[in-house]
Amino acid sequence: MDSSSLKRFAEYLPFLISLAVIGGILFGGIVISRWDYSVRGLSIAIPFVIAAAVLAYLFRHPQEIGDDGPLFGVSRFTLYRLYAVVYMVSIVLLIAGFDRHYYLVMLIGLFLILFVGIFSRTVSVPLTLCGIILTMMNIIYGITCAYPLFFSTTDVMGHIFMASVTYLSGHGIPVDLSPSYASFPLYHIFIAESAHILNLPIQQALFLVTCPAYALSVVFIYLIFTRITGNPRLSLFTCLVFSMTGVVLSEGVQMITRSAAFVGFVILLHLIFRMEAKNGNRQIFQGLAVILALFIILVHQVSIILIVILLFTLMICEYIVRDRKYISTIFVLYICVLFLGYWGYSALQFLAWFGRARWNIDFFEFEIKHTVLSDPTMDQTQVVLIYLYNNIPTSIFAAFAVTGAVYLIWRQKPKYLAVFGLFSLITLILYLPNPLFASETFAHLFRIDRFRILLSPIMTLAMASGFLLIYSHRGKRDVGKRIVRSILLIVFVCFAFFSLGTVVLTEDPGTQRLYFTSEEHTGFDFVFQSVPYGSALYSDYYTKRYFIQKKTDITEEFGLPYYQSGPLPGAIAIPRMEGYTILRNKQLLEYNLIFEENNARYSFRPTEKNIQLLSLSTDAANGVYSTGGLEIYQGLPE
């Protein structure tokens, strides 16, 4: 497609976006009979309409994204001193244990300082990148080091145990422990080696060494985009937006196998864009790219498929734009041969597990959804309003990202940016909330939620481009320009507040906290020391995910703990359970407990009736352990 055709296509996109908004609302209400999805879709629909209106204006008043626009006249040294002071205050607030809202304000201050530094008249790229990396590490360590165990999505607890098994045995985990990870041992070997070298427990080593490795991905993102755009300010601002995005920080906090695969993917992209070198370095970059592909294959089983899909999509976008071609068909096919060969010869157990888990799946089942752990006393209107409130950063992102992506296609300066713009539009469905994420079967088969972290660098480039287009636009009236820029700065602060708040504010009264307290940790240690191995344990969802230890071929050899951990179907079931029930009573009184019954989770809230039922149930059981925050009971089945 030539430049003029691309330009005409981009000019039609605002109209097509408006049609897509109407079609999406009708699809949710009529096709799948979920009008509540259509109302929730307003968090995306309204920003899309705003983006369409802004694009219509920008097409009539074009400008280069590379224009410097308004620059701040603040001295670099003043900004450095201010950054250092705010950074130290944030650490003091963490150590002193102040309310985390004060800590959140300090973090927003750090990002504002970096924003001003990027758009000051003299910007230092190395120091700005260091500031972004240090801020990311501040956030991640400020969560993982603040609690006995911050478990986030609970996946990290399983990886801690698997790394412990690797540490004790000196080799990868056995297949009977986890067929999905036995053939992909690189992450657990890395954590085990780090614990051995640093002489630290596995959990501490994991959180300590993974944070810097994750934060350094910012450097490679900058190198990729500054090479393509030739615009250091845009590249730095992209890195800044990337570092404050919720999905990026959430993955950094838990830094499990898919997060490690993402780091490998970013470095792989950097090497791919360096392969066009005409000198002898080309072979070096090709060799390093193959090594990175092997790293991704061995560190996480599913990510390599998603990465190949994204690389093929980039190839298609390059073919449409017809500019430089960085993505080699031969190289992508070589990656496919590598992972398919490895799966076929060394990961047959994983393939069998993978196939069984995805057999007889209904692609069009939208009624089986991820369970929403909300207050059952709320009506549907309250649930929708809370959803719209929680998705404010998503709405802000959508408005700027669509604006930036479409304008990159239309302007084509440099032309390869049109590839990123087209790629962003095509993959938006894998990044923004939509009915596909509500289908348990569809999401389970394709794991489309895993695309979000892989897409985040290019998506943040689109958002950064859209923001800078509007912020630096040269209108005719100075008063109007100042008003627009003031509004954009407020929007930027709101985006930072809501994005960081979802990660930094680790507890919300009445909902849930995503960490175990020291009292709960002490109670878990009691289980390992006093409850016989092989016993049945029943508990809430998060505690059940902690006790994932099961018996394997090497259990007896290394003295590993093992239990039959299962969900507690309800509070009244405690006396009749054959085994031990672990009850986090402090969690219940302050928030709630998540129980499971018939493969469905529900929230058990501390109402007066529920507390009475729980009291009657525990009185009929045999109490074996009690502390301020956790109690353990032994059932007395008839």
Pairwise pLDDT comparison (585 vs 351), residue with the higher score: 585
**Residues 45-70, mean pLDDT to the nearest whole number:** 81
- pLDDT on residue 269: 95
Pairwise pLDDT comparison (34 vs 410), residue with the higher score: 410
Residue 34 has pLDDT above 70, yes or no: no
Which of 62-76, 228-242, 368-382, 588-602 is predicted most confidently? 228-242
For the chain, give the mean pLDDT. Answer: 86
Question: Which segments of 119-244 does DSSP mark as H helices, in order?
Answer: 125-144, 155-169, 186-198, 202-215, 217-229, 232-243
Q: Cα separation of 613 and 202, whole Å?
A: 39
**Residues 586-603, mean pLDDT to the nearest whole number:** 83
Confidence of residue 440 (pLDDT cuts 50, 70, 90): low
Residue 518 has pLDDT above 50, yes or no: yes
Q: Cα separation of 492 and 244, whole Å?
A: 11
- pLDDT on residue 442: 63
Cis peptide before 414 (omega within 30 of 0): yes
pTM value?
0.92
Residue 92 has pLDDT above 90, yes or no: yes
pLDDT digits (tens, 9 = 90+) for 103-159: 999 999 999 999 999 988 888 899 999 999 999 999 999 999 988 888 887 889 999
Residue 360 has pLDDT above 70, yes or no: no
Residue 546 has pLDDT above 80, yes or no: yes
Confidence of residue 368 (pLDDT cuts 50, 70, 90): very low
Pairwise pLDDT comparison (599 vs 205), residue with the higher score: 205
- pLDDT on residue 474: 63
**Residues 204-208, mean pLDDT to the nearest whole number:** 94
> Which residues share a beta bridge with 567?
539
**Residues 270-298, mean pLDDT to the nearest whole number:** 86
Confidence of residue 380 (pLDDT cuts 50, 70, 90): low
Confidence of residue 373 (pLDDT cuts 50, 70, 90): very low
Q: Cα separation of 605 and 609, whole Å?
A: 10
Q: Token pair of 180, please?
A: 């999905």
Q: What are phi and psi of 374, to 5 degrees?
A: -115, 175
Which of 173-182, 212-221, 316-325 is predicted most confidently? 212-221
Confidence of residue 372 (pLDDT cuts 50, 70, 90): very low
Q: Cα separation of 407 and 7, whole Å?
A: 9
Residue % of the chain over a pLDDT of 90? 45
- pLDDT on residue 455: 95
pLDDT digits (tens, 9 = 90+) for 214-223: 999 999 999 9
Task: Indicate the domain borders of the chain.
Answer: 66-74+151-505, 515-635
Q: Cα separation of 488 and 471, whole Å?
A: 7
Q: Cα separation of 595 and 604, whole Å?
A: 7
**Residues 178-190, mean pLDDT to the nearest whole number:** 91
Place of tokens 């590993």: 560
- pLDDT on residue 362: 56
- pLDDT on residue 486: 87
Residue 15 has pLDDT above 80, yes or no: yes
- pLDDT on residue 358: 61
What's the angle, vertex CA 53, arms to CA 433 and CA 30, rounded to 5?
A: 45
- pLDDT on residue 114: 95
Q: Decide: 90 and 103 in contact? Cβ < 8 Å.
A: yes
- pLDDT on residue 7: 82
Confidence of residue 175 (pLDDT cuts 50, 70, 90): confident
- pLDDT on residue 22: 81
- pLDDT on residue 485: 84
User: 63: Cβ–Cβ under 8 A, 6 or more apart, which residues?
Assistant: 469, 472, 473, 474
**Residues 496-510, mean pLDDT to the nearest whole number:** 80
- pLDDT on residue 214: 95
**Residues 61-75, mean pLDDT to the nearest whole number:** 72
Q: Cα separation of 210 and 148, whole Å?
A: 17
- pLDDT on residue 370: 43
pLDDT digits (tens, 9 = 90+) for 238-261: 999 999 999 999 999 988 999 999
- pLDDT on residue 1: 63
Pairwise pLDDT comparison (359 vs 274), residue with the higher score: 274
- pLDDT on residue 81: 93
How are beta strands 564-567 and 536-539 bridged, if at all?
parallel
Residue-wise burial string across 479-505, b where 16 or more C-beta atoms lie within 10 A, e elsewhere = eebeeebeebeebbeebbbbbbbbbbe
